[in-house]
C-alpha cells in the first residue's frame, strides 16, 4: 500500500440543531468562511476559487431534463399503490461528466440522475443510443450511471415487474423521457470537452443523517463500528472541475436517503440532492435550464453507501406539507458542505483514467473462504423477499400493515407451509430470513427482479468509484472500500461506493446486519453471503485495474424490452369545463402581493401526459419590462413554483399554478402563464395556453 500522499486539509461542517422556521437552518462552517466563499444564501458564485492550473484531463459537463410523467403515474420509492403523481414541484435532471486522460485517450462517462433508481432497462437503452452515436467510444466498460434515489419520481420505467407493480405496468413515455435525458446529458458533456483540472477534497458533514437501523449496525465487529463512532457515515467528497482559474463543475458524494418528500406527497420532486444541485446551479450561479445549452456551472450530488442513512434525524417519517421544508434544509446542508470545499486546497488529480465492469449472476456465486471469513465456501441463492422487507422502513416510510422489522414468524409459517416449500439449500443460503416471497422462483415464469447484475470499478487519478447496483449500508460499503483500497494501494477515503449504479438489486448488508433481519436485511435478496460475493467481485476488478488486465464480461443481463406489460390506458380525450375554453382562468390571482406571499391561479387545462414538455415547461412566471414586453423569470423547474393537476368531471382538467414569491423579487407587474396540450377524439394533440390577469408585487 502506498504511503506517500500530499497533505490535505479537511473542513468539518456542522449541521446540528433542530430545524427552525421553514426548516432553512443549514450547516455552520467551522471557523470563518474565506473571502468570496459560496454561502447558504448564494451571495458568491462558485467560480471565485483559484485553480492549480493542471490540465491533465479533458473534462466535459452537461445537464438535461429527464422528468417523465407528472400525472396519473405511480411514484417510485415507497411502494405505495395510492401514491399517484398529480403535479410537479421540481423537474428531474440528469448531469453528465466526461473525463478523458489526455495522455492515453482513455475516458469515463459519469451520469448522475435525479431518479429513484437506475434499472437495467435504462442502462441498456442508454448504451444502445450512445453506441449508435459514438460507436465504441462509450460502452458498458466506461459508462457509470447512478441515481440520486429521490422517492418522489415517476415509476414504470423498469423491465422487471416488481418495480412496475404500483404503476400498472410499464410507462413508455416515462422510460423514453429518462433515456432521452440521460443521453442528452452525455451528449452535452461530450460536446463540452475542454482542457480542465480536477481537484479532489474531503470533508465531514454531521447532523445531516441518522442510522435508521442501529440494531443491525451494532451487530458489526468493533473495527467496523469504530470507523463510524456515531453510527453514521459523515464523509463528504467533492470532485471539482476547474478551467482558467474558475470552478465550472462539481460532483459531490454524501450518503443520505432521498426521503425528504413523504409517501403522502403527490408532486414530482428531485428531493434533497436534486435541490442541492439546483441551488448551486440556478440560485447561486444563475443557470437558466431552458436557455443555457452549455451552462457556466454544473453540479451533481451523488449517492454513496446510503442504505441505512436517513435524513430524518428523529427517525420519524416526514409528513406533507412539512416535507418541502425538510427537502430544502437537507439539500442546503449538502450544498454548504460541498461549497465549503471549493476553497480548500484539495489534491489536484493526475494519473490514469480507467474502468472495468463485469456482470455477476448473484443467484449462484460460490464465495471463497477468504471473503466469507469463516474458513468455508458458501453460496448465494435465488433471490427471496423477506417478511421484514414488506414492513418497509419504519423510520423513512412504512409499507404494508401486518409486517414488522425483525422476525415475522407468522408470515414465515404461512409462506413455508401454505404457499410453497423452501428447499434446504435455499433455506441455508437465506437463513435467518423469514422468506416471504421466493421471487427467484417467480422469475422462471416472468422477470420480476434482476439476477445478473453489473458491478463496476472506475478510476480517475487517485479517486476510485465502486459501482454497486443497489442500496449499500455504511458498513457494507466500508468493507467494499477496504477490499479495493488494499489491492490498488489507495487511501481509504479516496475509494467510494457509487450506489444505485447501472441497475437495481435492492439492498446490500453485512452478514452480521443481515442476521437481525431489519428492513435492509429482508431486502438483501440473494442471502447472507451477498456482500462477500460482491467483495470477491470487487477484488477481481481491482486486481485487473491495478495490473492493466481485462476481465470476461460475464453473464450479461438479458434484454427484456419485448416482454414488458403496460396495463394503464393512455389519455383518451380532453375537454374543457362546460361553457369554458382551454386556458380559461377559473380562479384569478389577487390584484397585488408582497414578497413572501403565494400567488395562485387555476386554469381550465388538459392532461399533462399528452406532452411531457421535456426540456420545456408547463408554466411561466413572467414580469413586464418597461417597454411592455413579458419576460420569463421562473418556470416549472424552479423551487418557488408548483404545478398541480386534477380531473374536473370526466374529461376536463383543472390546473393550479402557485408561485411562492421570493424575498428578492423586484417590484413590478407579473402574470402566470400555463402551457398545456389537449387531445381530441381523433388522437390529435394541440398546444393550449392560458394567461392570468396581471398583478403587482410591491
**380 in Cβ contact with 389 (< 8 Å):** no
Q: Tell how strand 592-593 and strand 695-697 pair up.
A: parallel
What is the number of residues in the chain?
698
> Of residues 196, 310, 363, 516, which has the active-site annotation?
310
Active site residue 310: yes
3-state SS, residue 492: helix
List strand residue ranges (DSSP E) for 412-519, in order: 435-437, 452-460, 463-467, 471-472, 495-498, 507-508
List strand residue ranges (DSSP E) for 489-563, in order: 495-498, 507-508
* CA–CA dist 673, 689 (Å, integer): 7
Q: Report how far apart, in Å, the C-alpha atoms of 634 and of each of 293, 322, 389, 427 are.
A: 17, 23, 41, 56
* CA–CA dist 376, 90 (Å, integer): 51
Q: What is the DSSP string of 231-293?
A: SS--EEEEEEEEETTEEEEEEEE----B-SS-TT--SB--HHHHHHHHIIIIIIT---TTT-S
The answer for residues whose C-beta is within 8 angstroms of residue 267's C-beta and 6 or more apart is: 70, 85, 86, 87, 88, 89, 152, 642, 643, 644
Residue in this structure with the C-alpha cell 434499472, named with its chain if needed: 119
Closest CA to 370 of 205, 533, 247: 533
Torsion angle, CA of 98/101/105/108, rounded to 10 degrees? -30
H or E, element range at 87: strand 84-88
3-state SS, residue 667: coil
> Which positions are annotated as active-site residues?
310
Amino acid at each position: 500500500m502506498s504511503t506517500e500522499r500530499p497533505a490535505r486539509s479537511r473542513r468539518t461542517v456542522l449541521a446540528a440543531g433542530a430545524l427552525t422556521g421553514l426548516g432553512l437552518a443549514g450547516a455552520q462552517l467551522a471557523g470563518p468562511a474565506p473571502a468570496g466563499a459560496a454561502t447558504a444564501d448564494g451571495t458568491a458564485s462558485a467560480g471565485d476559487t483559484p485553480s492549480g492550473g493542471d490540465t491533465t484531463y479533458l473534462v466535459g459537463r452537461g445537464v438535461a431534463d429527464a422528468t417523465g410523467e407528472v400525472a396519473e403515474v405511480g411514484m417510485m420509492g415507497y411502494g405505495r399503490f395510492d401514491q399517484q403523481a398529480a403535479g410537479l414541484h421540481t423537474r428531474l435532471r440528469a448531469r453528465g461528466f466526461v473525463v478523458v486522460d489526455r495522455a492515453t485517450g482513455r475516458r469515463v462517462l459519469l451520469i448522475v440522475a435525479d431518479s429513484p433508481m437506475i434499472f437495467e432497462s435504462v442502462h441498456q437503452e442508454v448504451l444502445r443510443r450512445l453506441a449508435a452515436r459514438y460507436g465504441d467510444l462509450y460502452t458498458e466498460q466506461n459508462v457509470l450511471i447512478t441515481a440520486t434515489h429521490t422517492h418522489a419520481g415517476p415509476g414504470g420505467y423498469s423491465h422487471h415487474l416488481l418495480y412496475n407493480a404500483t404503476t400498472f405496468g410499464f410507462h413508455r413515455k416515462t422510460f423514453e423521457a429518462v433515456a432521452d435525458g440521460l443521453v442528452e446529458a452525455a451528449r452535452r458533456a461530450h460536446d463540452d470537452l475542454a482542457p480542465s483540472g480536477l481537484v479532489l477534497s474531503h470533508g465531514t458533514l454531521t447532523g445531516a443523517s441518522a442510522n435508521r437501523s442501529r440494531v443491525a449496525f451494532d451487530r458489526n465487529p468493533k473495527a467496523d463500528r469504530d470507523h463510524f463512532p456515531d453510527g453514521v457515515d459523515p464523509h463528504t467528497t467533492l470532485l471539482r472541475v476547474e478551467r482558467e482559474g474558475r470552478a465550472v463543475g462539481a460532483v459531490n458524494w454524501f450518503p443520505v436517503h432521498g426521503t425528504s418528500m413523504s409517501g403522502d406527497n403527490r408532486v414530482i420532486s428531485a428531493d434533497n440532492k436534486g435541490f442541492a444541485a439546483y441551488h448551486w446551479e440556478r440560485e447561486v450561479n444563475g443557470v437558466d435550464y431552458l436557455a443555457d445549452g452549455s451552462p457556466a456551472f454544473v453540479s451533481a450530488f451523488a449517492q454513496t453507501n446510503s442504505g441505512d442513512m436517513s435524513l430524518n434525524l428523529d427517525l420519524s417519517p416526514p409528513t406533507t406539507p412539512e416535507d418541502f421544508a425538510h427537502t430544502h434544509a437537507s439539500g442546503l446542508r449538502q450544498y454548504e458542505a460541498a461549497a465549503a470545499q471549493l476553497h480548500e486546497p484539495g489534491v489536484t488529480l493526475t494519473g490514469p483514467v480507467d474502468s472495468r465492469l463485469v456482470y455477476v449472476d448473484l443467484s449462484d456465486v460460490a464465495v471463497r473462504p477468504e471473503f466469507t471469513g469463516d474458513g468455508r465456501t458458501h453460496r448465494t441463492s435465488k433471490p427471496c423477499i423477506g417478511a421484514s422487507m414488506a414492513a418497509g422502513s419504519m423510520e423513512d416510510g412504512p409499507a404494508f400493515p401486518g409486517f414488522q422489522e425483525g422476525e415475522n414468524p407468522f408470515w414465515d409459517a404461512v409462506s413455508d407451509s401454505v404457499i410453497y416449500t423452501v428447499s434446504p439449500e435455499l433455506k441455508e443460503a437465506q437463513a435467518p430470513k423469514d422468506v416471504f416471497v421466493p421471487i427467484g422462483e417467480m422469475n422462471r415464469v416472468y422477470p420480476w427482479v434482476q439476477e445478473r447484475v453489473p458491478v463496476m470499478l472506475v478510476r480517475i487519478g487517485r479517486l476510485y468509484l465502486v459501482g454497486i447496483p443497489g442500496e449499500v449500508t455504511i458498513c457494507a460499503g466500508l468493507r467494499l472500500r477496504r477490499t479495493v483500497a488494499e489491492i490498488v494501494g489507495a487511501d481509504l477515503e479516496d475509494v467510494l461506493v457509487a450506489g444505485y449504479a447501472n441497475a437495481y438489486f435492492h439492498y446490500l448488508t453485512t452478514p452480521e446486519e443481515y442476521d437481525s433481519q431489519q428492513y435492509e436485511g429482508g431486502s438483501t435478496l440473494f442471502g447472507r453471503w451477498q456482500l462477500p460475493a460482491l467483495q470477491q467481485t470487487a477484488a477481481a476488478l481491482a486486481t485487473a485495474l491495478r495490473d492493466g488486465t481485462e476481465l470476461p464480461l460475464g453473464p450479461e443481463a438479458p434484454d427484456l424490452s419485448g416482454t414488458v406489460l403496460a396495463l394503464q390506458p393512455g389519455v383518451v380525450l380532453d375537454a374543457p369545463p362546460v361553457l369554458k375554453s382551454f386556458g380559461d382562468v377559473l380562479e384569478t390571482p389577487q390584484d397585488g402581493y408582497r414578497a413572501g406571499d403565494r400567488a395562485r391561479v387555476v386554469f381550465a387545462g388538459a392532461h399533462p401526459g399528452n406532452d411531457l414538455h421535456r426540456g420545456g415547461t408547463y408554466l411561466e412566471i413572467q414580469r413586464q419590462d418597461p417597454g411592455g414586453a413579458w419576460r420569463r423569470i421562473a418556470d416549472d423547474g424552479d423551487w418557488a413554483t408548483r404545478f398541480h393537476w386534477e380531473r374536473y368531471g370526466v374529461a376536463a382538467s383543472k390546473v393550479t399554478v402557485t408561485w411562492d414569491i421570493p424575498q428578492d423579487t423586484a417590484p413590478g407587474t407579473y402574470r402566470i402563464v400555463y402551457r398545456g396540450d389537449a387531445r381530441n377524439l381523433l388522437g390529435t394533440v394541440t398546444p393550449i395556453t392560458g394567461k392570468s390577469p396581471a398583478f403587482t408585487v410591491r
